[in-house]
Structure 1
Amino acid sequence: MPPSPVTPQPAAARRHAFLLWAGAAFVAVLAAAVALGPITLVDERFSDVLHRQEARTRVPPDSIVLIDIDQRSLEDPQMLELLGNWPWPRAAHGEIVEYLARFGPRAIVFDLIFSEPDVFRPHSDAHFATALESYPVLLPLVVASDGNASPLAALAPVMGLSAGPDADPAAALPLIAPKALPPHLWRTGLINFLEDDDGLGRRYWLHYRHRGWTLPSLPTRTANELGIPVPEDESLRLHWYGQPFERISYRDAYLDSLGEHPQLGVRFAGRTVIIGAAAPGLHDLRPTPLSASTPGPMILATALGNLENGDWLRPVSGGYAFLAGLVLLTMTGIAFARQWNPAATAAAFLTVSLAIVLAAAALLRVNLLWQPFSALLVALGYYFTAGLWSWLRERRRREHTVQMFGRFLDPTVVATLSDTGQMAEATAGRKSEITVLFSDIRGFTTLSETREPEEIVALLNRYFDRQVEVIFEHGGTLDKFIGDAIMAFWGAPMARADHAYAAVLAAMAMVEQLEAFRQEIGEDLAGFDVGIGIHSGAAVVGFLGSKRRLDYTAIGDTVNLASRIEGATKGRARVLVSESTRDACLAQNDCKVDFVDMGEVTVKGRHQPVRLFEPRWRTR
């Protein structure tokens, strides 16, 4: 028997070929995404989400404290009276340095640019310089995008620049240096904001290299002063602290410095003090993964805290992201190739994806930055591609199935079998217990002799429409039309215990439809009648035919006997059934049919006579 057209062998091969080629294409995309980073920002943005969650529990080192030039410091009446509007005289910073020095801080770091002398208050600059002579501080340096370039060789001894073996003696950079102070006080470090392509700052310079020269960043210079090891990398991936650094308003520190008995000073003892701008109007707010307006001193403190704790983020090799994506691609391909349940496929994909995301989150806690998110997106693209392709193929298959089986079965039954995935199993060739019905028109030859061919065809089509509807309404399967005869059966492709009773009820309804049809036509159809034979038994049911033409049919002795019984109806009754059919009907608890014994009949192909019965509606 040919294979069922519901699941043709080439379909699996085409499915596997598509999934293989699509998978290979997505593996190439995955490799490119990992190696070339075309969608790096996807990784960064998803990493930011995890980082914000993980940062909530991270506590910064207690060894760092910030003095903020905040809005309160700028607007406080006492500060306005003492220092006036911003920019303040630099003598105020000198007084802060002197104040802090009394309590023994580890280091004092300014995150303020002193690029030009105060021509109106030179004595103020002098006071600041005197304070720095007594207690050296670390100052910021900025590499400008343009302007007059300064020779690096001349500045190296002052700024702590280091020259590599290939250092260019003529190398120069446009630098914004603390020119308000004498050069010998320039203990500087770079504070240039290092932003990614999306404008967010996730890293901080460690060493800025230019033509063989290395400029240390301010965190690097500070760490070197404090004896903290610094990696040789160009930059440091910041590991943010969600819990705040201790921050003290410049206003509070300055006013405390003027008092005879300072109260805040002990909070600076043995700690690194970073002084910088936090007020929005001072334009030192930067976008970071934590906030769109993170104060520059906070970023500086984070970099220094990372160096001190050794907890900056170390990137994990992209090969592991590729491996994670490959696992997802492989699993997805296997799931669609083996036609897993869609819900199970989705659940497996989500479970593995979630495990990868949770692994990335867990690695953050041990200072490792793993970014598998672009790989996950590539795998997700493959999942949707394979899913869409499978859905379209399944849709075409179901449409083909409904179209094919709509000839044999009630369309609602076809839809049920297709939607529940039982069609292939139900229509596979097998031996089944069924009831077969043959219905043949009586008087057709006489009728055809008195009418035109077109009338005969139209009349028969109207009649067959009615009878096929009856068969479908009673759950039957239309096997075929044989001239003016109809063959149908019950019990396949959907097995049912009452197949015999359903066939008998259908036959009696077909007789009623015949009467209604004759009245509807309203013409002389006295000779137009029907004979129906029914038999129950075992038969082979399935698709028979060639590759070009297949029909769902039943074959075997049960079919032959049903046909012989239909032939025996002439002169006896419109409907006759075999003894096996009668017994099956009477076994039904709600049987509403009586069976009149019509005696035994000898039929072709049988050595023993066959006892036949006429079904009639039960009247009692």
Structure 2
Amino acid sequence: MKPLNRYAYLVLLAVVALLVGADYRWRLFERVDAQAGDVLTRATVHARAPSPDIVIVNIDQTSLEQLNDEAGSWPWPRAIHAELVSAIAAQQPKAIVFDLLFNEADTFRADSDALLRDTIAATPGVYMPTVLLGDGQGAKLADLPASLGLIRTPQAQPDARAPLLLPLVLAPASWHGGLINFDHDRDGIGRHYLLYATRDGWRIPAMPATLARDFGWPHPDRTRMRLNWTPRHATVSYADIYLDAGRETPQRPKNEFTGKIVLIGTAAPGLMDLRPTPLSKTWPGIEILATAIDNLEHGNWLRDAPRPWFAALAITIAALLAVGFQLGINSLWLGVSMAAISVIGAGAMWLAQGRLWFLPLAMPLVWGWVYYALAALVAYVKERARREATVRLFGRFLDPRVVGQLVAGGAIDSAPAAREVTVLFSDIRGFTSLSETRQPEEVVALLNRYFSRQVAVVFRHGGTLDKFIGDAIMAFWGAPVDDADHARHAVAAALDMGRELEAFRAELALDGIDFDIGIGVHTGRAVVGFIGADDRLDYTAIGDTVNLASRIEGQTKGVARVLVSQATRDACGDRYHFDDRGEHHVKGRAEGTRLYEPRLIEEKR
């Protein structure tokens, strides 16, 4: 086997390892881990309960319809929001968090803006949102009010700017809050929430980070966190709160907002605050904010495991598969093992998420399957090449159709080994006379035709052609394929070769020429397999059994066309009738060898 073929699985492992390194360096296939996490999230989300401390006041479609007469079409006069804040604040909530922007003044209803400005200024615990735009110059961060909670790091540039949408309708002292930017991954799905944005050494906090700081909640010291999704939080309609002005009704308990974090936002489809998340392509933005706040309040956001560990895991899985393929383990069993590893990996992801860890196991598993598929393809190509080479090789000795079946079933054993076989030698009598009356080219053509017919007989009876020795043929039965009836098949072939000779002579009109064959058959143990030098191997049989078969063929002249040994006669049982042709002394043996002429039962005389 060539070195490249010998180490093909290791070379493939090196290629996959490089691809894994590129993947985890540039996050080329990060989406696979993300989408696997999405599937797991949807499957387990109902096992987690939303925080009872968070209530959403939703500007839903009902609110838009019920307040149409009083507030008109959207956007409503800011006085409406001012009255809602007063109604909620009367119940002493923990915080009132707006998910609505107030960055532009209402030039037609200045008094309405003033009412909201004064109400927010007089109400503690109100948080107002800001948004960081993707482009633009914006205001100098050093000039913004302290209420925004900007953090100046040692690397902060004094002239740094950021394009922020600020709540300019309100007094600067009321700008306390944070960013509510939708933080999506490269595939557009929101799986994280922004905690801080950075600009030239300045950190701009997001709304959840500001709440965590104010209430002393632990939070990750990073720019974003992976959300641990829950079902929807408790929600009441904006119109119900506004129209009831905080009065107790049968549908709502008294002081329903006391001690709660109240989020004011919209899930109405027409107001376009719906975002793609693992749970839905149209998940309300207010719910995303609620989930982030919920996670920080309870410290149950998902922690990201170090990705290099999983790059190493991907290479380890591929390496184990490489060892398996290199050892010749069946591809099916390796596939079953890979499936078991995948099931274990999925279970590990599920258990880890319950313990607040996000394990990016999907990509190691995908890379394992990639390696398995490529290695299985290499194994298939190598096996097919091996089979084709074996078919070509054994096609010299066996019927190619039989070889194809045997190779497909893996039944051929070519390693040299001692086996019980039956050996046949066939030699032409009178070939010299025939050669003297014809041209050499014609003689060769006749000999080739004769050999073709006789080899067809050998193959027809399941024999293995060993070699041509001048005008002689050597064949054997019982290898490379086990054959319990190898003696019977060899004798049948010998008799059939005689009949084939008669047909050949009749075809050539050789009745007047002494052209005959002698066939000797013997059964015994011989070493069979590929024997020879590294660059020249022949599949052959060697040993005393072969020698005796050749000697028996030499005794046929003047006795019988076919002679077999006592061992062959005994191995054939009662399939044939055997005429005893006496004891013969053959070269190399001190004792005589009893020989028999086989006949079909119906030919018995």
Query: TM-score w.r.t. structure 2 length?
Result: 0.93
User: Cα distance, 1:141 vs. partner?
Assistant: 0.6
Q: Which amino acid aligns with 2:48?
A: R
Partners of 1:92 and 1:564 lie apart in 2 by 119
Change (3 A) 1:113 1:408: same
Match of 1:346 among 335, 341, 364: 335
Distance across 2 between alignment mates of 1:529 and 1:70: 107
What is the aligned-residue identity percentage? 48
Match of 1:292 in 2: 281
2:164 corresponds to which letter in structure 1?
L
Are positions 1:484 and 2:471 aligned together? yes
Which of 443, 454, 469 aligns to 1:467? It is 454
Q: CA deviation at 1:454?
A: 2.7
Instruction: Kindly provide the CA deviation profile for residues 128-177 of structure 1, in whole angstroms up to 9, marking residues without a partner as x.
Output: 23432443321111122345622323323232323334433333322211
Contact between 1:594 and 1:618, CA under 8 Å: does it hold in 2? yes
Q: Which amino acid aligns with 1:27?
A: A
Q: Give the conservation status (yes or no) of the 8 Å contact 1:96–1:257.
A: yes
Over the aligned positions, Cα root-mean-square deviation in angstroms equals 2.4
Q: Which runs of 5+ in 1 are unaligned?
A: 1-9
SS at match of 2:77: coil
Q: 1:610 to 1:51 in 2, by over 3 A?
A: same
Map of 1:17 onto structure 2: 7
Matches within 5 A, 1:361-440: 361-423=350-412, 426-440=413-427
Alpha-carbon distance between aligned partners in 1 of 2:208 and 2:448, rounded to the nearest angstrom: 93
Q: CA deviation at 1:14?
A: 4.5
Alignment of 1:175-574 (within 5 A): 175-241=164-230, 243-257=231-245, 261=249, 263-264=251-252, 266=254, 267-423=256-412, 426-522=413-509, 524=511, 527-574=514-561
- CA–CA separation in structure 2 for the residues paired with 1:233 and 1:156: 24
C-alpha change, 1:578 and 1:260, in structure 2 (3 Å) is closer
1:43-79, Cα deviation, whole Å (9 max, x unpaired) = 32333333333334222211112122223332x3x32
The CA distance in 2 between the partners of 1:258 and 1:576, in whole Å, is 118
- 1:95 counterpart = 2:83: yes
Report the equivalent of 2:45.
Answer: 55
Partner residue of 1:593? 576
Shifted more, 159-168 versus 138-147: the winner is: 159-168
Separation in 2 of the partners of 1:558 and 1:30? 60
**Matches of 1:121 and 1:525, distance apart in 2:** 131
Deviation at 1:16, TM superposition (A): 4.6
Amino acid across the alignment from 2:108: F
Give the structure, 1 or 2, with the largest relative contact order (CA under 8 Å, sep 6 or more): 1
Deviation at residue 120 of structure 1 after TM alignment: 1.6
Cα distance in structure 2, aligned partners of 1:212 and 1:460: 96
Which of residues 104, 112, 115 is equivalent to 2:100? 112
- Select between 510-519 and 596-605 the one with higher mean Cα deviation: 510-519
Once the two structures are overlaid, the 10-residue window that deviates more, 39-48 or 482-491, is: 39-48
In the alignment, which residue of structure 2 is the partner of 1:45?
35
The amino acid that maps onto 2:595 is L
SS in 2 for 1:113: coil
Opposite residue 43 of structure 1, the aligned amino acid is D
CA contact (8 A) 2:468 2:474 kept: yes
The number of aligned residues is 601
Distance in 1, matches of 2:448 and 2:253, equals 106
CA distance in 2, matches of 1:517, 1:551: 29
The CA deviation at 1:259 is 6.2
Q: 1:508 to 1:261 in 2, by over 3 A?
A: closer
Q: Which moved more, 1:369-378 or 1:500-509?
A: 369-378
Name the counterpart of 2:146: 157
Segment of structure 1 superposing worse, 560-569 or 139-148: 139-148
Retained in 2: the 8 A contact 1:324–1:356? no
Residue segments in structure 2 that go unaligned for 5+ positions in a row: none
Q: Aligned equivalents of 1:194 and 1:527: distance in 2?
A: 100
Shift of 1:262: 7.3
Measure, in 1, the Cα distance between the counterparts of 2:271 and 2:27.
36
Q: Answer yes or no: is 1:575 the counterpart of 2:573.
A: no
Secondary structure, counterpart of 1:336 in structure 2: helix
Equivalent runs, 1:600-615 vs 2, <5 Å: 600-615=583-598
Is the 8 Å Cα contact of residues 439 and 530 (structure 1) preserved in structure 2? yes
| Distance across 1 between alignment mates of 2:474 and 2:162 | 97
Alpha-carbon displacement from aligned partner over 1:196-236 (angstroms, at most 9, x marks no partner) = 22222222122223233332211122233334233332222
The answer on 1:85 being equivalent to 2:73 is yes
State the distance in 2 between where 1:236 and 1:531 align. 92
Indicate the SS of the match to 1:543.
strand
- Letter in structure 1 aligned against 2:88: L
Residues 306 and 297 of structure 1: CA distance in aligned 2, closer, same or farther (over 3 Å): same
Aligned mates of 1:260, 1:430 — CA distance in 2: 98
